[in-house]
Every structure is written in structure tokens, then in C-alpha cells.
Amino acid sequence: MKKNALLIIDPQNDFCSPNGALFVNGADEDMNRLANWILKFNKDIDFIGVTVDSHQPNDISHPQFWMDKNGQYPSPFTQITSKDVEDGIWTPRFDPARCLDYLKELERQGEYPHVIWPMHCIIGSEGAAIYPKLLSAMIKWTESGKFYQTVAKGTFPFTEHFGAFRANIPDASRPETQLNHGLIKTLESYQNVYLAGEAKSHCVANSLKQVLDEAPALAPKFIVMTDAMSNVAGFETLGDPIYERAKRMGVRFTSTNNNLL
């Protein structure tokens, strides 16, 4: 069995650069540490997988997707509920019936509320590119003949896609929103799966939760790199229940200061 895989969640400029549209405070330092870790353990890392958040401007999580009765878009970090839609406070500009069903299903799950984010990770934009210092380390890692894998998520605009493995609410007609069995199978072939990226509170936590829910046998392989991820401001405790559950299911935790486990 191959030994060490690294799964990096959304290490993109919009999250990791201080000038990014949705900068996660501390993410630049996280990615600098991770880049140095990759260089240090270059020969010991057998696989690198990278998820890339990939959105259209008209995305259910972006302001211009929504409008109030005065024709105004919501401000970033506005929370929108199904009741808000039913009461006419906010109206989806595209496929309203689908969007209302989506909000109701999201609320039924009882986990993450629907929040409007600044427009971010637009497909093809500089903000969607991988943070430069990390990318340089990944390219250096490939010199021995290795290849990194990228996994696009968020391309279907009618559902959030926080986790690496599936959209928050998969759409039966859109394979890209459904469980990524191929990625799970790839990771299963490694002894250890190191997990890093942004943001700890959202996309990293959801990626871990999807492993616990959909591939529990994979959970003990996971090693969370605690100093290579940070929370979105205001959501510092949102992912805590997921990380606590992960510990109970055998997930290990480490930092970039430690040797490989």
C-alpha cells in the first residue's frame, strides 16, 4: 500500500491572499507553512490532491443571485432562510421554486445555514488560482515524476459545494454534485491521508464530515493538520462538532512542526 497522501482543500487566492475576495484571516500563513512542509517531506509524500472552488458569477451563494423588493442585492454574510423567501424578503432571481426547495432541504439537515458570500473563485479568475507559494512547492514535488490531481467543486450554481466529496445538496441530474467515488477510492489506497486547506470552519470541516458519513472506513487514515487551516471570522466554532466526532472515529491530528506519522 502506498503510504502518504495529502488532500488540500481550496488553497486559492480568494481565500488565502490578503487581497482575496473572501480572505480567511491567517490562511496565507497556513499555506506558507504547508508549502514548507511539502518541501521538507517532498520524497515522503506519494500523492497530492487539491480541490478548487469553482463558481459562476450567478451562484446561489453570491449577492447578485438574490434581490429584495427594492431590487437590491444582499450584503455579503447575509443569512437567507426559506421563510425569508416565502415572506418576500429575498427572492431568487433564477429558478425560484428550485431555490426554495434547496433552502428547505438545507434547513432540514440542520447543519449549515445558507449564507451569502462575497463573489469568489470565479472560474478562470486570478482569485480562483492556487496560492503561489503553495503551487511552487507542489511543482517542486512533481519533479521526481509525480502528478497532482485537482478536483473542481461548486460548478453547479444551484447548490453549495463545501466538501471535497459531494455538494451540500446533491442534484440527481448533475453528476458533478454527487458523491465522488473516484476520489474516495484513490485515497483508500494510501495508509495516511493528511488534510489541510481552507476554511477550517466550512470546506475542510465538511470534507471531513463527508468522510465520516460516506466512507467511515477511510476515517482512521485521515490526519488533520491543525496549523494549515483557519476559520472564517465569525464562524470559529461552527465546525467544532465535526472535529470532535472525527476524534471519536479515529481521525488523528498533527501540525506542520511534527514529523510524519
53-67 per-position pLDDT tens digit: 999 999 999 999 999
The reported pLDDT for the residue numbered 170 is: 95
CB 107 within 8 A of CB 79: no
pLDDT at residue 131 above 80?
Answer: yes
Q: What is the arithmetic mean of pLDDT over 136-140?
A: 98
pLDDT at residue 1 above 80?
Answer: no
Q: pTM here?
A: 0.96
pLDDT at residue 31 above 80?
Answer: yes
Domains of the chain: 2-56+131-254 (3.40.50.850), 63-109 (no CATH)
Cα separation, 152 vs 50, whole angstroms: 9
Cα separation, 199 vs 210, whole angstroms: 15
- pLDDT tier for residue 178 given thresholds of 50, 70 and 90: very high
Q: What is the arithmetic mean of pLDDT over 160-186?
A: 96
**SS3 at position 2:** strand
- Write the pLDDT tens digit of every residue in 207-249: 999 999 999 999 999 999 999 999 999 999 999 999 999 999 9
Percent of the chain with pLDDT over 90: 97
**SS3 at position 5:** strand
CB 31 within 8 A of CB 11: yes
Cα separation, 19 vs 41, whole angstroms: 29
What does the radius of gyration of the chain's CA atoms come to, in whole angstroms? 18
Helix, strand and coil in the chain, % to nearest 5: 40, 15, 45
CA distance to 3, 133, 149, per residue, from 42 (Å) = 13, 15, 16
- pLDDT tier for residue 111 given thresholds of 50, 70 and 90: confident
The reported pLDDT for the residue numbered 261 is: 83
